[in-house]
Structure 1
Amino acid sequence: MKLNLLLKNELIENFNNVFSNTNHSVYFSPGRVNLIGEHIDYNGGFVFPAAISYGTYGVASLNETQNINIYSKGFSKMVDTFSLNDLSKKDSDGYLSYIKGIFYTLKMKGIHIVKGLDIYIESTLPTSSGLSSSASLEMLIIYILNDIYKLNLTTLDMVNISKETENKYVGVHSGIMDQFAVGFGKYNHAILLDTQTLFYEHIPFDLKNYRLLIINSNKPRQLAASKYNERFGECQETLQILKKHFNIEHLCELEVSDLPQIKALLSDTLYRRIKHCITEQTRVIQSKKALIKGDILSFGNAMNLSHESLRYDYEVSVDELDTIVDVARNSGAIGARMTGAGFGGCAIAIVEDKFANHVKEKILTTYQQKFSMDASIYEVEISSGTHKL
């Protein structure tokens, strides 16, 4: 993402209004969206995320203490401070746990930070929307530390440290996709990632005369954690049954041609779960081929089929997301689907330029009328990964 000078100067001015330090650097860490490949990362499948132009900005400077001073616009009422000599997690930490945890994880790896920092943070990402605001923040902090303290960490090192922080310090059992997409993002490219081996490819994502819209349902994802665990359990149960009949380690190793045999071995519910996994894996591979050829229409069709599978076979969509997707398609989008864990959060749509305003208007109007609440729509570009500005 190209940051205009006006915004960069505004960030520096905001930093200066909080901290007196003048020797500072400015950074950007994107959010991410998963374009296709949903709920198959824990089944040995591929994911297809991309870093986006909404994200988290940071301005940082060394100070002469052993304290880390943080001001986060939108979260802080005053400067939050913790000592490098006390990195223990506290119940009152809130968003600070994602920052303090990075320092703690480094310390556990024998990397001791002894000089303090002043950090100003400002985010354009909506929270709890499924666009990885936490991974964006984690990668921002580790990137700042790597740059300022000359730690010589690789991008993969920073991704793993951020994931370990979220899993072990914060206590959220997420996979590696979010941090990987934020760290390895490339302008106008999506990332085809094998979450088992971490083999990845940057695939051109040239939309030509189309736009990528992210539509936030603003529906709290209250069931997401419990239902995620339920789906994970169903897939593990299915795997144990099928390993008696197929030489596999993961569900996504199976082929569409195996489905007739599989159907006779499973309950209807478990069959629909694995049907999604197998067909979604196929759609990811087809999407890669379509985008390499510049075939946006075929990619849009794969998105549509993905949503129907998530809606009826994997059953993780909700009425709010289905309404957004249906209205988007009916008013001109060539492809639309829910993205993320489901049960709230966001949908994405690909819309031709000339229909974009019409599609946005129809979604906003219909959604407000049906649910008496407002959806939010973001036009995004595909961004580079976390970087210094």
Structure 2
Amino acid sequence: MKDKVLEGFEKIYGKRDDVKAYFAPGRVNLIGEHTDYNGGHVFPCALTIGTYAACAKRDDRKLRFYSMNFDNAAVVEGSLDNLDPENNPGWTAYPKGVVWAFEKKGFKLDKGFDLVIYGNIPNGSGLSSSASLEVLTGYILRDLYGFDVTNQDLALIGQYSENNYNGCNCGIMDQFAVAMGKEDNAIFLDTADLSFDYAPISLKGCKIVIANTNKKHKLTDSQYNARRSACEEALAELQKVVDIKGLGDLSIEEFEAHKDAIKDDDRRIKAKHAVYENQRTIEAVKALKDGDIKKFGELMNQSHVSLRDDYDVTGVELDTLAEEAWKIPGVIGSRMTGGGFGGCTVSIVKDEAIDEFKEKVGKAYREKIGYDATFYIVEIGGGPTVL
């Protein structure tokens, strides 16, 4: 891939001796969905698929972007002097948003750059192509301009840009998983205070299989922000009767004792998911550390049911993939991953059952939905890097 982006750069911008190649991963969340903006725990891992780039500084303040993922694409030009969110639609709003966010944080770029990107994360899959591109851009800026920021800072800057430049009120999980990824480990992250530890993933005789619905979704246009608002309102009502900073502070027993403070049924059930999912995630990581992969899988399944019935973010496509997966004896656990409303499921599947899984789930999906799902066997990778 390094050669591919470097050749792409040369083809678009000409030969340069100072061009460098970079990579940032995508991520999948094993359990802990819609908990990250509620001060709860998440359990994502970085993947070996992600976003590649070739980049070099310019002598002026011009910014030039090119994506190798679009056929017959044109170079998109911009300027450090025109980073207004209103004037920057399209995919380049993600890297431009990171430049804008760096400048808001006091890191000024003296010169522009030429950038070529190529991603092998399926578009609209919910495997965090946007966070991958944001962290990748931040990593490039740190490397090319010598900014004194940590990988954790890159995650926070990426989240800040997506919240304030792109208008998606996402939590910290995606950017954190991309920036802090570690090979063969998932990240057990407490989003309330960003404390975390790495948990080795030992799936003896099993693989992580991603199933992509191939239903296009866009979080900013979806009901994602509405779910977040419901949780914020529920939190405000609960704070009148119990001393908490986020829904993630509550045990299940505490939630059940105080839930009547939430006056609206819909808000109450959304808050219930946030609390129960957080406790499921804590329990699931303990099970994994204890070597109880069966228990981990059961909690994955429970997570999907809660996301379907309480949080209402799955839809027929994701439900079909998960529910058909549960019928196969070699499937340890299966659930939707990401924001929902399309995207992917993540499943832990015994090696000997992978072909059956793809065949039977794929056939049932095609018959019910009318088009194919796509299956990927993925490996856990590290964070951003210079290639």
For normalisation by structure 2, the TM-score amounts to 0.91
Question: Does residue 83 in structure 1 map to residue 82 in structure 2?
Answer: no
What corresponds to 1:386 in structure 2? 384
What corresponds to 2:12 in structure 1? 18
What corresponds to 2:288 in structure 1? 291
| Structure 1 residues 282 and 82: alpha-carbon distance in aligned structure 2, compared to 1, 3 A threshold | same
Q: Which amino acid in the other structure matches residue 272 of structure 2?
A: K
Contact 2:168 2:220 in 1 (8 A): no
Q: Which moved further from structure 2: 94-103 or 108-117?
A: 108-117
Instruction: Return the match for 1:349 from 326, 347, 350.
Output: 347
Question: Does residue 255 in structure 1 map to residue 268 in structure 2?
Answer: no
RMSD: 2.3
SS in structure 2 of the partner of residue 304 of structure 1? helix
Find the aligned partners of 1:88 and 1:31 in 2 and give their Cα distance: 27
Question: Does residue 38 in structure 1 map to residue 1 in structure 2?
Answer: no
Contact 1:135 1:178 in 2 (8 A): yes
Q: Which amino acid in the other structure matches residue 203 of structure 1?
A: A
| Structure 1 residues 8 and 233: alpha-carbon distance in aligned structure 2, compared to 1, 3 A threshold | closer
Contact 1:48 1:192 in 2 (8 A): yes
| Structure 1 residues 355 and 173: alpha-carbon distance in aligned structure 2, compared to 1, 3 A threshold | same
| Structure 1 residues 92 and 214: alpha-carbon distance in aligned structure 2, compared to 1, 3 A threshold | same
Q: Which moved further from structure 2: 102-111 or 362-371?
A: 102-111
What corresponds to 1:9 in structure 2? 3
Give the superposition deviation at 1:92: 5.5
What corresponds to 1:317 in structure 2? 314
What corresponds to 2:53 in structure 1? 58
| Structure 1 residues 229 and 112: alpha-carbon distance in aligned structure 2, compared to 1, 3 A threshold | closer
Find the aligned partners of 1:189 and 1:328 in 2 and give their Cα distance: 24
Q: Which amino acid in the other structure matches residue 45 of structure 2?
A: A
Instruction: Return the match for 2:325 from 328, 338, 341.
Output: 328
Find the aligned partners of 2:286 and 2:98 in 1 and give their Cα distance: 38
Q: Deviations over 1:40-72 (max 9, x none)?
A: 223221111111122100112234443222221
Q: Which moved further from structure 2: 351-360 or 224-233?
A: 224-233
What corresponds to 1:361 in structure 2? 359
Provide structure 2 residue ranges, at least 5 long, that are not aligned to the other structure: none
Find the aligned partners of 1:315 and 1:272 in 2 and give their Cα distance: 10
Q: Deviations over 1:170-193 (max 9, x none)?
A: 222222211111101111111111
Aligned residues: 383
| Structure 1 residues 90 and 254: alpha-carbon distance in aligned structure 2, compared to 1, 3 A threshold | closer
Q: Which amino acid in the other structure matches residue 93 of structure 2?
A: S
Instruction: Return the match for 1:302 from 299, 303, 306.
Output: 299
What corresponds to 2:279 in structure 1? 282
| Structure 1 residues 260 and 369: alpha-carbon distance in aligned structure 2, compared to 1, 3 A threshold | same
| Structure 1 residues 60 and 34: alpha-carbon distance in aligned structure 2, compared to 1, 3 A threshold | same
What corresponds to 2:24 in structure 1? 29
Q: Deviations over 1:77-105 (max 9, x none)?
A: 22222233433345454111222222222
Contact 1:262 1:271 in 2 (8 A): no
Contact 2:124 2:215 in 1 (8 A): no
Find the aligned partners of 2:218 and 2:163 in 1 and give their Cα distance: 20
Q: Which amino acid in the other structure matches residue 11 of structure 1?
A: V
What corresponds to 1:3 in structure 2? none
Find the aligned partners of 1:162 and 1:202 in 2 and give their Cα distance: 21
Question: Does residue 145 in structure 1 map to residue 141 in structure 2?
Answer: yes
What corresponds to 1:108 in structure 2? 104
Q: Which amino acid in the other structure matches residue 278 of structure 1?
A: V
SS in structure 2 of the partner of residue 314 of structure 1? coil
Give the superposition deviation at 1:10: 2.9
Q: Deviations over 1:3-55 (max 9, x none)?
A: xxxx3323322222222223322111111111111122232211111111221
Q: Which amino acid in the other structure matches residue 327 of structure 1?
A: E
Q: Which amino acid in the other structure matches residue 384 of structure 2?
A: T
| Structure 1 residues 263 and 152: alpha-carbon distance in aligned structure 2, compared to 1, 3 A threshold | closer
Q: Deviations over 1:267-292 (max 9, x none)?
A: 65455334323321221111111222
Find the aligned partners of 1:87 and 1:278 in 2 and give their Cα distance: 39
Contact 1:16 1:22 in 2 (8 A): no
Contact 2:26 2:50 in 1 (8 A): yes
Q: Deviations over 1:231-269 (max 9, x none)?
A: 334333433443344333322322223455346666654
Contact 2:9 2:54 in 1 (8 A): yes
Instruction: Return the match for 2:191 from 171, 195, 212.
Output: 195
Give the superposition deviation at 1:225: 5.0
SS in structure 2 of the partner of residue 111 of structure 1? coil
Find the aligned partners of 1:222 and 1:169 in 2 and give their Cα distance: 15
Q: Which moved further from structure 2: 86-95 or 148-157?
A: 86-95
For normalisation by structure 1, the TM-score amounts to 0.90
Find the aligned partners of 1:279 and 1:167 in 2 and give their Cα distance: 26
SS in structure 1 of the partner of residue 291 of structure 2? coil
Identity score, percent: 42
What corresponds to 1:186 in structure 2? 182
What corresponds to 1:165 in structure 2? 161
Give the superposition deviation at 1:209: 1.7
